[in-house]
Amino acid sequence: MKNELNRLTVKEMAQGLKKRDFSCFELTGAHLDAIAKKDEEIGAYLTVCAENAKARAHALDALGKEQRASAPLYGVPYALKDNICTAGIKTTCASKMLEDFVPPYDATVEERLKAAGGVPLGKTNMDEFGMGSTTEYSAFQKTINPIAHDFVPGGSSGGSAAAVAAYEAPYALGSDTGGSVRLPAAYCGLVGLKPSYGALSRYGLVAFASSLEQVGVLSRGVYENAAAFLTLLGADEKDATSCAFPPFDLERTEQAGVKGLRIGLLRPFFEKGVDPRVATGALDAAKTLEHMGAQVTFCPLAPPEHSLAAYYVISSAEASSNLARFDGVRYGKRSEKGDSLEESHAFSRGEGFGKEVKKRVLFGSYVLSAGQIDRYYHKARAVAAALKGEVTSLFEDFDLLLCPTAPALPPKRGEHPPTNAYGQDLCTVLANLTGLPALCLPCGRTREGLPLSLQLLAPMGREDLLYRTAFAYEGEEKK
């Protein structure tokens, strides 16, 4: 059994640790063994912190029973996306620009997981600075989908998803700016949360698009996802955007069921431009929820192409601003070329950033320019505001909204152009533009074995409704 500790559920891991069936050191070792055996092929990790993890596991085992935390994730290992700062451990954002950057502090989410008794295993691969939906835009390596090796794992948190799907971590943190947690979760058959804007601290998360992104959780089951969210939840004085959303009772939420919940099916995400297999999978899941007592009805929404266009204008504009600090002087790789400060900046950014990052920064600079800001950026902000008002009004009639997580199945590795990659965010950007919480969970497989995924959206601060529904659906599917 001890050779397969990494394949237990998180609830089983916590129970086993509590009963002393195995130690934290043994549990951590099982995951490190899995990484050593499989990750050369999978490519989930950029940095594995084996010695640090073993030392921390030893220290947790040495604590007396009265000192042990009662937190549900005590002694359980986890992985972090490589844009979350870790003191003394490289945080590269999968970019040559930050290839040797070692932060002097931990991100707040890392502090909170460690305070709850977690064991960080390492840092996972990603699309450079979070810009991509396949994890093919990393400067260092490519990550494959552990459940379908010819296909991408999604992005930009593809390394975190692959680590969890390959049993190299029980759960992992990612970040979600336009679907970067939910797409990898969907493509790898996992549960993925993008929380309400402000619910989790962004302090120590290297910024891509500050008004859109949040730290999120990827896991194989609903329980560990909810437990991690509750561990991380709470305002942070170091992050002015964080809010004090109230926690919920995990056990009661797990048992609540869906009877009486009003669920709206977002009609545009089941029609034009959506793979029929994907739409059918989400509709079948909706029928299951209806059979369990939920009220399910189709509802209208503005064409999703509008939100996708607004997202890429806003996110690129903010990326242009946020990444301006990486010039080889304040932060990042410094080129040896250039006879002036201006030339040094240009060469440093040219050598440090990859093509996708350069493209988005250039586009963002353009839409913020004096002649174009009203035409593009301000118009995109108006679209986002109108969209938020439209969705808020839907919640007067519905408790939750449901749609597929992605408009298509996972693309094959190396076989889709960037314009197609942007379209993969069609169903996910809605939550980022409106700040709403969204949870995706697996809802079956195609005949070829590729995962299908549904997405739930809830009103601001109502992650309890997402998890309540997910627990019920997961339980029904296991019968």
Buried b (16+ CB within 10 A) or exposed e, 219-254: bbbbbbbbbbbbbbbbebeebeebbebeebebeebb
Buried b (16+ CB within 10 A) or exposed e, 354-378: bebbeebbebbbbbbeeeeeeebbe
Edge-to-edge order in the sheet of strand 451-457 = 45-48, 119-124, 77-81, 171-176, 214-219, 191-194, 438-445, 451-457, 400-404, 262-266, 295-299
Please report, for residues 116, 178, 397, 438, 470, the alpha-carbon distance to residue 435 in angstroms, rounded to integers and kept in the order given. 27, 11, 19, 9, 20
* E strands, 53-134, in order: 77-81, 119-124
β-bridge pairing 191-194 and 171-176: unpaired
If one counts every other C-beta atom within 10 angstroms of the C-beta of residue 394, the result is 17
Largest Cα–Cα distance in the chain?
Answer: 70
Q: How many CB atoms lie within 10 A of CB 64?
A: 6
Strands (E) in 164-224, as ranges, are 171-176, 191-194, 214-219
CA distance 231 to 244: 13
| Bridging pattern class, strands 262-266 and 295-299 | parallel
Q: Which residues contact 51 (CB under 8 A, 6 or more apart)?
A: none
Question: Which token pair is 224?
Answer: 């560990």
β-strand partners of 175:
215
Helix axes 222-232, 10-18, angle to 10 degrees: 70
Distance CA 181, CA 175 (A): 6
What is the dihedral sign for C-alpha 270, 272, 276, 278? negative
Instruction: Just list the catalytic residues.
Output: 81, 156, 180
Residue 27, token pair as written in the block: 């549990």
What number of residues does the chain have? 479
Q: What does the DSSP 8-state code read for residue 80?
A: E
